[in-house]
Structure 1
Amino acid sequence: MQIGSRYLGNGQCHFIVWSPLSQQVELHLVSPEDKLIPLEKDDQGYWQTTIAAEPGTLYFYRLNGEVDRPDPASQSQPQGVHGPSEVVDQGKYTWNDGQWQGIPLDDWIIYEMHVGTFTPEGTFDAMISRIPELLELGVNVIEIMPIAQFPGDRNWGYDGVYPYGVQQSYGGVDGLKRLVDACHQQGMAVILDVVYNHMGPEGNYFSQFAPYFTDRYKTPWGSAINYDDAYSDEVRNYFIENVRYWLSDYHLDGLRMDAIHAIYDFGAKHILQEMADAANQIAQETGRKIHLIAESDLNDPRIIRSSEAGGYGIHAQWCDDFHHSLRTILTKESHGYYADYGDLDHLARAYRDSFVYAWTYSPSRKRKHGSSAIDCPTTQFVICSQNHDQVGNRMLGDRLTEVVSFEALKIAAAAVLLSPCIPMLFMGEEYGEEAPFQYFVSHGDPGLVEAVRKGRKEEFAAFHAEGEAPDPQSEDTFQRSKLNWDKRHEGKHKTLWQFYQTLIRMRQQIPALAHKDRDCLEAIVLDNEQVLMLRRWFQDQEVVCLFNVHQKPVELSLSLADGNWKKLLDSSDAIWGGSGSPTAEIVTVQPSQPQTFQLNPESVVVYSK
């Protein structure tokens, strides 16, 4: 059932809100005229009416004749999270993407971005001018961090309290549509990060309407959403309709679902399966390729297995094991959950099996963790070397650029983009952005601001971070996190950008790299843990990638297939800002004759047969 205000045209609008335990609910129109309209209640606890109301009408719902509250399914909050909701005409925008059919999941190259810090203006419209350069890089999907209405005008987005609302400071409803439309016309897909595991604290009036939350479970961010307790049917409807809303009304190509391990549902049909069913139905109706991606730390392949195979049918999921394996090798960090990683064999296992922990003992958890996912295609796993969490949740928000050498940045790029999984870049990494990405909020409640500050300090203590964390409430923290976009034309920044562009083109154009079957991949550790060899093949073409992650040169003897091998890439070549490569351009391998390779410190070399 569609909920919220739905403009029907001809000056008519339907209002419907779920409040099963209320004795009385009235629609309070506050603009353009002040008026109270009683609503009728049905057997499921929905209150509704159809009246004369134009787009732009501002309204509250009055509960039990006592308090006015915004619509839980508000599509627009022009006066902020505590103000009235606004009637929106979703049909007034004229779309120009009628020929758009989407991009196959196997071909996705994702670019994660935050609207407020991606441009100086921090708006949807300002993003449009940068799309051609992302396309030139080779990116074909942008992933937008949450834009559901949140308190104030700056926030990561995970404190949103109106899952149907579009953040006003970013450009609101029409701004988002203009961005998606422009992307589709240029060949770029758009997915949105949505939060279905909790809601933010400020402006959260949901409990006053209905049992949206349950005390059965707790999340790290507040009360768990009620997906399987009493009254949960209509809570599920609220979020399933939210999936439909974003995919239909905004033509989005998919959703990235935040921290689904904190979505608790022990019913026979999981809410994630119902969401996947809804997305698949819209894909069939529109002829567009639509995909849901889950963030999860469970290492549970049921999330992405089909419903026929006993899974939830989500199309892909983030693979933290790959990130953690790669990062700990490059940085030697071992605090917190990084203690579970650090061996080169972990990265080899992530290439081969996706999950490093597949019902194996996890030292940080002190128990077995995960399950095997080798039956799942590699293109159901999204991997990265950086993302908003792994940068922004560091105390200083420092990027990999500030932690490792320039040579190691090139290893990180190659490790991700030469993988058969779906690669994701975090905005700015492609040119080695040096500005931090720090945690920022603009709450209006002083008590809540202090609670956020305290919570951040406690979180950093768990990772043994020293020093003073930036104030998340300060606007300076937000301003420091904006990209220095023009740096991509300068010095090593330009070189790194071109390195990323070259890797993406190799991934798309070389058959052995374009073919992503798990059965056509080998990843092993050579020469006493010094070098990782990634070998990929398709038909008679083969590619070998040699990663020396250590700060010393390595000489190794390697048995390759007979024939001529051509060097496609060497990160230590002068063209890539390196000191010069000792490896040959052409290597001829004789039968049963191992070949000697000399690898520079912190380098990656790619050969093709």
Structure 2
Amino acid sequence: MSEQETVSTTATPGRGVDGDFAVWAPHAVRVTLRADGADHRMRRGDDGWWRATVDTAGSGTDYAYLLDEDPRPLPDPRSLWQPQGVHAASRVYDHAAHTWTDTAWTGRALPGGVVYELHVGTFTPEGDLWAAIERLDHLADLGVTHVELLPLNAFDGTHGWGYDGVLWSAVHEPYGGPDALKAFVDAAHARGLAVLLDAVYNHLGPSGAYLPRFGPYFSGENAWGPSLNLDGPDSDPVRRHVLDGALDWLRHFHLDGLRLDAVHALRDDRATPLLAALADEVDALSTALGRPLALIAESDRNDPRTVLPREAGGLGMTAQWSDDLHHALHVALTGETHGYYADFEDPEALPTTLTRAFWHAGTYSSFRRRTHGAPVDTARVPGHRFLGYLSNHDQIGNRARGDRMGEHLSPTLLACGAALLLCSPFTPMLFMGEEWGATTPWPFFASFTDADLVEGVRRGRRREFAALGWAEEDIPDPMDPATRDSAVLDWEQRDHKHHALLLETYRSLIALRRDEPELADPRLDRFEVVASGDGRRLVLVRGGLRVVCNLDPVDAEIELDAPPRELVFANGRPRVRGTQVVLPGECFAVLRL
């Protein structure tokens, strides 16, 4: 047995694998365990944990907890398996029962990688991890290195984005449950693909959120509801709940990292914030496992300290998303300037975000109506610590129809966007289907079982977009199963005409990034962008390479600093005259000086 297997198959105490059950309920007067067809009184410890042993229990045993006089049995807050849904009993799951085949896997570091964001429920018509395994060869052939799965933890209903999860350690059963995730990771590792998981600890979904019934897990409010109690009274076990859950994904499921949702909503006034504590423990686990583990934060703060190492006074995140870069790219490609895009209409927005990650860096944000962010020290912080993207689940799904850029832009302009992203110093991330310019929408959808909640979600969605001028009939019903079905990727589309050509462009650019180290060089202080024509013509200076891009629909003349001697790759037919390059409209070229 390998070291990785030794670490990964240790049973988690208190979840019934050895007949021992434990639950934290510090304010309860009585807790009863219902397991193996009988009720068992639990013993309270001074630490607020209740414990019981059921000799006949083990893997596959259904169990639940009853608190005080409440007759309703509740699932385990630390449940690993919810085969009947989030309102039903938990089931004992034994990690040691899985035989791993990835013993030779040594991991993949995020620097130099290309991330692919994937929603299991719409990646295939079947919408589960087993079907997703059948598409992994496509990702390996594309050249991506990391697959980032949108949240998999259990939520109410069959279909949803995953951000309404209520049991943070249980794999959603309609996706295949815990065994399917392990099979997916095994299959990905066999193809050289690392697997990241989007983990949501900043809030609970509206249905099946029994966690607060057990203890003071929440205190105060954030944008999504109750805020996690990370620094108030009785917060030590709450923090431990999050830390243990995060480590379990990496240890027991052999995941290679976590994407942490909206960390700005994790309110924490301790000297060592939760994210810093998590970074320390993940670093220790990485050492024990002998493979790199990544923590990627989604943060709205534009605070470079998020990705500074712990020893430099930072939070120690491996990387963070850069929405500013997305917004600048989106405005440059689409011309949209409504809402928060208004700040990125400035011709300097794209060159600045390409070289400095943040546009709002101690500057005024009209959308927020205040000064926002802080500048990145480009001499100290490498570009690979920021994920750049043309699209992601939020930026598509939070549009009224969930429409993608592939529906509106020409394939040549989409290719220009891909070139700017994949030849940048940042860690590129693609959203599933982007690589062939998919036109299938990806709107918000859910499938809650409570009738009042269903109607409330419908009304809320209509109200939100009606305020922005949308007609009600143009807003997809998020609770209609057809809305989810419309979001399923059309895999046949990738083989059709311009879609196939764009896919080949993505493959070539990713391969070029791998084969030409200068294109992946993350050093921001050695990267330069020269812009002209109101920011519509750009030259990316990448060592001895120049990436020239014309976003306008007409030919453009672009002056270089030296005559190019080789055309490395292009999506059109550039003409070179000494130091001048004539690019057709919506064309890019990679040239070697």
1:269-318 deviation line (CA, Å, top 9, x unaligned): 10011111121111011001100000111101111111222111111000
1:436 equivalent in structure 2: 441
Contact 1:336 1:463 in 2 (8 A): no
Q: What amino acid maps onto 1:548 in structure 2?
A: N
The one-character-per-residue Cα deviations of 1:147-173 (angstroms, maximum 9, x if unpaired) are: 100111101000000001111001001
- 1:277 partnered with 2:280: yes
**Paired residues of 2:332 and 2:536 also in contact (CA < 8 A):** no
Write the distance in 2 (CA, Å) between the matches of 1:198 and 1:439: 18
Q: Deviations over 1:93-123 (max 9, x none)?
A: 0001111111121122111011111112111
Letter matched to residue 583 of structure 1: R
Residues 1:74 and 2:75 are matched in the alignment:
no
**2:15 aligned residue:** 6
Does structure 2 retain, via aligned residues, the 8 Å contact 1:530–1:554? no
Structure 2 residue corresponding to 1:155, chosen from 153, 160, 163: 160
Matched, 1:241 2:244: yes
1:7/1:90 contact within 8 Å kept: no
3-state DSSP of counterpart to 2:154: coil
Q: Tell whether the 8 Å contact from 2:574 to 2:589 is kept in structure 1 after alignment.
A: no
**2:31 corresponds to 1:25:** yes
CA RMSD of superposed structures (Å): 1.7
Aligned equivalent of 1:552, options 551, 554, 557: 554
Task: Say whether the 8 Å CA contact 1:328–1:342 is kept in structure 2.
Answer: yes
Which aligned pairs between 1:136-535 and structure 2 lie closer than 5 A?
Answer: 136-215=141-220, 218-373=221-376, 374=378, 375-461=380-466, 463-467=468-472, 468-535=474-541
CA contact (8 A) 2:263 2:297 kept: yes
1:568 maps to what in 2? Answer: 568
Per-residue deviation at 1:597? 2.2
What is the SS of the residue equivalent to 1:164? strand
SS in 2 for 1:398: coil
Relative distance call for 1:7 and 1:28 in structure 2 (3 A) is closer
Residue ranges of structure 1 left out of the alignment (5+ in a row): 574-580, 590-594
Distance of 2:96 and 2:155 partners within structure 1: 25
Following the alignment from structure 2 to structure 1, what is the Cα–Cα distance between the partners of residues 70 and 345?
Answer: 58
> Structure 1: how far apart are the matches of 2:274 and 2:462?
34
Does the CA contact (< 8 Å) of 1:293 and 1:314 recur in 2? Answer: yes
TM-score (norm 2): 0.95
1:112 and 2:117 matched: yes
Per-residue CA deviation, residues 341-388 of structure 1 (Å, 9 max, x unaligned), is 023321111111111111011122221110111231100001100111
Paired residue total: 579
Change (3 A) 1:421 1:529: closer
Q: Aligned in 2, Cα 1:275/1:291: closer, same or farther, shift over 3 Å?
A: same
1:257–1:171 distance in 2 versus 1, CA, 3 Å = same
Q: Residue 195 of structure 2 aligns to a residue in which SS? A: strand
* 1:578 corresponding residue in structure 2: none
SS at match of 2:531: strand
Quote the Cα distance in structure 1 between the aligned partners of 2:68 and 2:535: 69
CA 155–186 in structure 1, closer or farther in 2 if over 3 Å, else same: same
Check whether the contact 2:75–2:88 (CA below 8 A) recurs between aligned residues.
yes
C-alpha deviation, 1:553, in angstroms: 2.1
| Distance of aligned partners of 1:528 and 1:444 in 2 relative to their CA distance in 1, 3 Å threshold | closer
Compute the displacement of 1:520 (Å): 2.1
Q: C-alpha separation between the residues in 2 aligned to 1:248 and 1:569? A: 42
Q: Deviations over 1:490-540 (max 9, x none)?
A: 211110000000000111111321322222210121245441211111xxx
Whole-angstrom CA distance in 2 between matches of 1:157 and 1:276? 24
1:40-92 residue CA offsets vs partner (Å, 9 max, x unmatched): 11222111123221211111101014232111111111111110010001110
> What are structure 2's unaligned runs of at least 5 residues?
1-9
Do the aligned residues in 1 keep the contact of 2:43 with 2:52 (CA within 8 Å)? yes
* CA distance 1:39–1:117, shift in 2 (3 Å): same
- Identity of matched residues, %: 40
The alpha carbon displacement at 1:599 in A equals: 1.8
Secondary structure of the equivalent of 1:409? helix
Q: Does 1:596 align with 2:575?
A: no
Counterparts in 2 of 1:325 and 1:464: CA distance versus 1, 3 Å: farther
1:576-609 alpha-carbon deviations (Å, 9 max, x no partner): xxxxx2423xx6x5xxxxx222222222122112
